[in-house]
Structure 1
Amino acid sequence: MTIIVPTITITLFTMLLINTITQTKPNNIKISLMMMSLMSLIPLNFITNKEQETTISSLPMISTPTENINISILLDLPSLTFMPVALFVTWSIIEFSTWYLSTDPNINKFIKYLMIFLMSMLIIITANNMYQMFMGWEGVGIMSFLLISWWHSRSDTNLAAMQAIIYNRIGDIGLIMTIMWLMSSSSLNMQELFMQHETMTILPTLGLVTAATGKSAQFFLHPWLPAAMEGPTPVSALLHSSTMVVAGIFLLIRLYPILQNNKIAMTTCLILGATTSMFAATSAMTQHDIKKIIALSTTSQLGLMMTSIGLNSPSLALLHMITHSFFKALLFLCSGSFIHNMNNEQDIRTMGSLNMMSPLTASTTTISNLTLMGMPFLSGFYSKDNIIETMTTSYTNSWALLITIMATALSTSYSIRMIHFILTDHPRVKYYPHKETKPMINPILRLTIGSIFVGTMTKMLTLQTTSTITMPKPIKLTTLTITIMSMMLSLDMLLINKYLSPKNPKTLITFFNQMAFFNIPHRSMPMKTLKLSQSISTELIDLWTLEKWGPKGLSNSTTTLIHLTTQQNNLIKIYMTTFSLTIILTLILTIT
């Protein structure tokens, strides 16, 4: 293993670099990614059997009195498990992009951006020191900006890209603060960090939580993720499945040893994750844009991953991150197929009966939504159900458990709502969809197979002996019971609301539709700032500048000079009275 695993890993990075730098055709890049995803399964086989980790380090590139900076790659279970997932999902998305952006003149540039995006994520998951972690961290940030603003002639797209980069900058403050603290009082090498975890204070741990909050769009820093839907659908698929948004969760999984003994940081992760999961699921219920519904679904699942980290179960967060990558990429590719075929229509209320027009895409959409709900024996079930079971049997507070179960019910509800509007009922489409072709269908089918079997394969791989069930059956079946009940209630509500007359949305619905605090930083604060600046500038110009330097200023500045040069004191009434009396007296004396 000590020879084979590093050799294969270096080969993978070399192939990625060559395909990114050279002028390679999209079809060749697709074939290279297919080969790399298959090759990456070899190190995974070694690591699962022997449970060892390998480190590859170069000679020091920068030498300082306190530390030598070099390139160091850590190959352990999290990195070698997630690497095949990232390569497989990117392979499918790039193949889909050749169909989705076939008319784009810069498609080669677009695919190279996707490759750099993938390389930045692989740098994050294999980094053995905080320098490399930060390089990959900033790499996915700048590539997300470039990819979201791909259609930069649209003003909304540019605003969404700026929003994404600014929110991520807020999260980056936490990571930079942690790195500065580690530089001054600890080490930036992962192994040394893990040995010194008992000496960590609250400052670096909260910095890590802040970084994950910004990158993984947790509550308060969540608005950028739905706004990022302005980019092309393949970007959304890659960004939401296996690269950008899971980087924050992977950071906490990687540096979990320095978090686990800090109760404040763990409680913050638990409360933040449960709140995010519940809030995003509620917001998804009020949306009508298919991509925004899926984006808020991603936010909800990221909240569930953050909750599992707060439960001292980073392995469950990694498992859900892997299964989520498959079915979320599948959801986005299916939505991209519908959007592209319907002439860029994204409102689910204008769709309908697409199961008759695009049967294969409709079937895979149903499978991906069932996986998202956590239906038994699909991939999402093995991770989602385990997280809620762990919460049920742990010493966590009942509030977090209740919120998470409610979020699970709501995730089932908006999934059923999406299936109902898109695939059932009478057709409401304005354009007849195109035919389902190979470049579109092949990646969707691959991801569907992954969404169905990855959870089962992981279960068979990791669980050699069946564990004894120690909890009562009602608690064991809590998640499944809530899912089925929510599904039945959602179908009833959809059928009831179908025949109701339209009404004005209530304040609460508008609140969640606008993603709660979206209005405060993006509308209320800018408007108040604009009005304040206008009033201040108006007062300064009218009441101060013109008065001080205008007529009143001239009058005040010349008054003293008048008093020095003349005896007149500007007493016009006295002057007129004196003049009049003088004239009258002169006339009287003259007449007499």
Structure 2
Amino acid sequence: MNTPKISLIFMLAITMFLIFPTMNLSMTNTSTFIEWEITTLSTCPITFPLIMDPVGMMFSLIVCVISSSVLMFSLFYMGSDPTKSRFTIMIILFVASMNLLIFIPNLITLLLGWDGLGITSFALVIYYQNKKSLSAGMLTVMSNRIGDITILLAIALTLNQGHWNIMSMWQNPMSFYITMCILIAAMTKSAQIPFSAWLPAAMAAPTPVSALVHSSTLVTAGVFILIRFFYFLSQNELFTKSLLFISIFTTLMAGMAANMENDLKKIIALSTLSQLGVMMMSLALSMPLLALFHLLTHALFKALLFVAAGTIIHSNMNTQDIRHMGNLWSQLPITCIHLNIANLSLCGAPFLSGFYSKDIILENLLFKETNMFMILIMIMATGLTSAYSLRLSLMTLADHMKNPSLHQNSIELNKSSIPMSVLSLFAITFGYMIQKSQMMFYSTILLSSLYKSIVMIIIMLGLWMGYYMFLLSKTPTKNSSLYSFLASMWFMPDISSQGSMYLSMKNLKTFSKSLDQGWIETSLSQIIHLSTKKMILINYQILSSTINMFPILLLTTVFIQMFIM
């Protein structure tokens, strides 16, 4: 049985099936709510609800389109893997978990999709069985378990409502705590500060998994549940303020780290982190539909970026370091075209999908009453996005060749060009089509000519900075403390893994050196030696005296016996 091909046909069939219901619900702007009551706990019914609305159907369709393309790409990328059938089954379970998360608005049954994503992502991250993959998988699953715990706390706090459907929940004394629990859960899933370390670490998974995780499934789950439950969550003022602060600094941190990174997949992962910050920022500015719009467009061009990067890695003898690449234009021209389309869409280049969503979010940021400091940081982060995109393109495509020939069998390249072409078509046209066909993505903005041109000016300045970073990479420089701070995501991986146990381990090390390898080693051993020696001498003396007294005692006993008789 050819499991990968059967799975691909199955996913394509589901994608085709979803097209017409999605169009119907979007055009009529209607929703369908189905609820199955499983049992009743006291007076609280345990139900399994499903909601089919334009938001969920549109996102599910995008997930299935990307999954079909990724499965097609994995036929090429995982072709020589002996366990590719197991890999394909895990991908299908991963996509099924995401779809459960999309269509279920109930906190209890939402755990089916939420925990399903966590378990299958752990299994996929540790797919390559080595120490690096295992440590990355452990960091991923432990970070996400924090979100699982807060979801369980939210379920417990919601008990007084008599139901667990957040879409129809009213304000109560526990609303603040419920909101904070769901916010922390979304932050762990979408890798916002301080839970950002697991996202680049998850690059230990195969590239098809990365294409799914970082485009439309795991990392977008946090953003999507905030969109789904936004009208309940936004009634808490602290929710929007804290989310704005966290999201903007996450975008800035990811942009800085991506400009210092040399691993191809990690650069793309950090670009995902920066775009997740943009989506969270639009939610903090009370623009959930624009966050959804950027979520959809980002999913398409990010999947394209990963598929193109996977083709480059596969054709470059599995090398991911961009310092070892160069002159790929002459070796992989089709792949390079697709990579540049995705990169330009990521930058927000005019008339590509990313432009229609990203530009309108940034213009709303300038239009709304927002803290000027936050606006400046976000503008800086936008420039950094253009910088690392151009640096990536120049170092991999335009620089001179640094490795042996990258030529591969043309049949293999053709297998990967089909999913790339499909995703490129969406990355070019999807933003325009959706904005023109869906009124819910329109936004009225009144800006002066100067403010209107700020976004494009920042993009151009970012491109100039990217070219400067490319030239800087050609000259060897000594790593400074600032470089280490920026390249390591503000030391976030160290804080997330070793940082939590640094103090206790340091105390244990000091204790061990002072006692076990210190004065106990010298002093106590000498004390024990002298004490033992003294005890032996005392025992010897007692024994000697006992031996000397024995004849006397014997004679005395005999004499007494004779006297008595």
Quick check: TM above 0.5? yes
Query: 1-side partners of 2:131 and 2:441: how far apart?
Result: 57
Which residue does 1:532 correspond to in 2? 507
**Which of 199, 206, 211 in structure 1 is aligned with 2:185?**
211
Which residue does 1:93 correspond to in 2? 70
Which residue does 1:577 correspond to in 2? none
Does the alignment pair 1:139 with 2:113?
A: no
Query: 2-side partners of 1:279 and 1:104: how far apart?
Result: 36
Which residue does 1:36 correspond to in 2? 14
Contact 2:367 2:446 in 1 (8 A): no
Measured at CA, do residues 540 and 491 of structure 1 come closer, stay the same or move farther in structure 2, by a change above 3 Å?
closer
After superposition, give the CA deviation of every residue in 1:336-389 in whole Å (9 maximum; x if it has no partner): 101111111111111111011000000000000000000111110111111111
Measured at CA, do residues 554 and 43 of structure 1 come closer, stay the same or move farther in structure 2, by a change above 3 Å?
farther
Farther-moved stretch of structure 1 (530-539 vs 273-282): 530-539
Which residue does 1:110 correspond to in 2? 87
Does the alignment pair 1:49 with 2:27?
A: yes
Which residue does 1:201 correspond to in 2? 175
Structure with the larger RCO, 1 or 2 (CA within 8 Å, 6+ apart): 2
Measured at CA, do residues 283 and 69 of structure 1 come closer, stay the same or move farther in structure 2, by a change above 3 Å?
same
Which residue does 1:589 correspond to in 2? none
**Identical-residue share of aligned pairs (%):** 33
**Which of 264, 273, 291 in structure 2 is aligned with 1:299?**
273
Does the alignment pair 1:475 with 2:451?
A: yes
Task: Report runs of 4+ in structure 1 exceeding 6 Å deviation.
Answer: 464-468, 542-550
Does the alignment pair 1:187 with 2:163?
A: yes
Measured at CA, do residues 201 and 548 of structure 1 come closer, stay the same or move farther in structure 2, by a change above 3 Å?
farther
**Which of 214, 224, 233 in structure 2 is aligned with 1:240?**
214
Contact 1:172 1:214 in 2 (8 A): no
After superposition, give the CA deviation of every residue in 1:16-73 in whole Å (9 maximum; x if it has no partner): xxxxxxx663222212211211211112112112211111222x32222122213211
The structural deviation recorded for 1:114 is 0.3
Give the number of aligned pairs.
533
Which residue does 2:382 correspond to in 1? 408
Query: 1-side partners of 2:105 and 2:526: how far apart?
Result: 67
After superposition, give the CA deviation of every residue in 1:105-146 in whole Å (9 maximum; x if it has no partner): 110110110000000000101003111212211110111100
How do 1:162-311 residues align onto structure 2 when only pairs under 5 Å count? 162-185=138-161, 187-193=163-169, 196-197=170-171, 201-311=175-285
Contact 1:305 1:317 in 2 (8 A): yes
Which residue does 1:352 correspond to in 2? 326
After superposition, give the CA deviation of every residue in 1:249-282 in whole Å (9 maximum; x if it has no partner): 1111111111111110110111111010011011
- Match for 1:46: what amino acid? N
Which residue does 1:8 correspond to in 2? none
Query: 1-side partners of 2:473 and 2:168: how far apart?
Result: 61
Which residue does 1:333 correspond to in 2? 307
Measured at CA, do residues 105 and 285 of structure 1 come closer, stay the same or move farther in structure 2, by a change above 3 Å?
same
Query: 2-side partners of 1:466 and 1:304: how far apart?
Result: 18
Which residue does 2:561 correspond to in 1? none
Query: 1-side partners of 2:16 and 2:275: how far apart?
Result: 27
After superposition, give the CA deviation of every residue in 1:425-458 in whole Å (9 maximum; x if it has no partner): 2111234231353321111111111111110110
Query: 2-side partners of 1:554 and 1:126: how far apart?
Result: 76
Contact 1:198 1:261 in 2 (8 A): no
Which residue does 1:155 correspond to in 2? 131
Which residue does 2:5 correspond to in 1? 27
Query: 2-side partners of 1:467 and 1:112: how far apart?
Result: 41
The structural deviation recorded for 1:493 is 5.0
The structural deviation recorded for 1:523 is 4.2
Contact 1:343 1:431 in 2 (8 A): no
Report the 3-state secondary structure (helix = DSSP H, G, I; strand = E; otherwise coil) of the residue aligned with 1:375: coil
Which segments of 5 or more consecutive residues in structure 2 lack a partner in the other structure?
Answer: 543-565
Measured at CA, do residues 466 and 247 of structure 1 come closer, stay the same or move farther in structure 2, by a change above 3 Å?
closer
Which residue does 1:572 correspond to in 2? none
- Match for 1:87: what amino acid? C
Query: 2-side partners of 1:163 and 1:493: how far apart?
Result: 31
The structural deviation recorded for 1:180 is 1.3
- Match for 2:136: what amino acid? A
CA RMSD across the alignment: 2.5
Which residue does 2:103 correspond to in 1? 126
Which segments of 5 or more consecutive residues in structure 1 lack a partner in the other structure?
Answer: 1-22, 567-592
- Match for 2:382: what amino acid? T
Contact 1:216 1:245 in 2 (8 A): yes
